[in-house]
């Protein structure tokens, strides 16, 4: 599948847009990185501090695959900050006719040096990549994920 209505068209700004589409998620692989480590580019450059995120889960397989939660983190390669934690009231089933499409915005503080959490500035200069981490339920579940970040320095 592909992203048809990108969040980049919603932002109205000249954000960098990086996508990871059609990524397989299963009990053995519960994370999707944006951008992919194997992609070119494999990081945001320049690093980013604000923008929009979106993730779509579809094409469920196995027995009753469902999303329990999703946590989005940003990192500079050393420090990590949690941007969002999407936890539906009850697990959302993912099938050939039912999918999850969630988006949000983010902004976080940075520092001129790597001071870490002691000073409340976990990211040095901005995030270079993002990770969507899923908790799912079902038996031998699988699903596909399209994830995107539209962001600015």
Asked if pLDDT for residue 41 goes beyond 90, the answer is no
How far apart CA 7 and CA 11 sit, in angstroms, is 6
| Cα end-to-end distance, the chain, whole Å | 29
State the pLDDT confidence band at 78, using cuts at 50, 70 and 90: confident
Q: How large is the average pLDDT for residues 128-140?
A: 95
Return mean pLDDT, the chain: 86
Q: Given this model, what pLDDT does residue 33 score? A: 95
Which architecture, in CATH terms, is 19-152?
Sandwich (2.60)
Q: How large is the average pLDDT for residues 73-102?
A: 92
Q: Given this model, what pLDDT does residue 112 score? A: 63
């Amino acid at each position: 599948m592909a992203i048809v209505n990108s969040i980049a068209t919603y932002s109205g700004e000249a954000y960098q847009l990086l996508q990871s589409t059609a990524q397989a998620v299963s009990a053995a692989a519960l994370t999707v990185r944006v951008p992919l480590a194997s992609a070119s580019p494999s990081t945001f450059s320049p690093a980013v501090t604000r923008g929009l995120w979106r993730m779509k889960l579809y094409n469920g397989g196995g027995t009753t695959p469902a999303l329990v939660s999703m946590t989005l983190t940003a990192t500079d390669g050393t420090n990590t900050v949690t941007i969002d934690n999407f936890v539906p009231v009850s697990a959302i089933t993912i099938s050939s006719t039912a999918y999850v499409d969630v988006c949000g915005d983010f902004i976080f503080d940075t520092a001129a040096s790597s001071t870490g959490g002691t000073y409340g500035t976990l990211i040095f200069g901005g995030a270079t990549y993002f990770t969507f981490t899923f908790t799912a339920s079902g038996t031998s579940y699988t699903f596909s994920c399209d994830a995107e970040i539209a962001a600015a320095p």
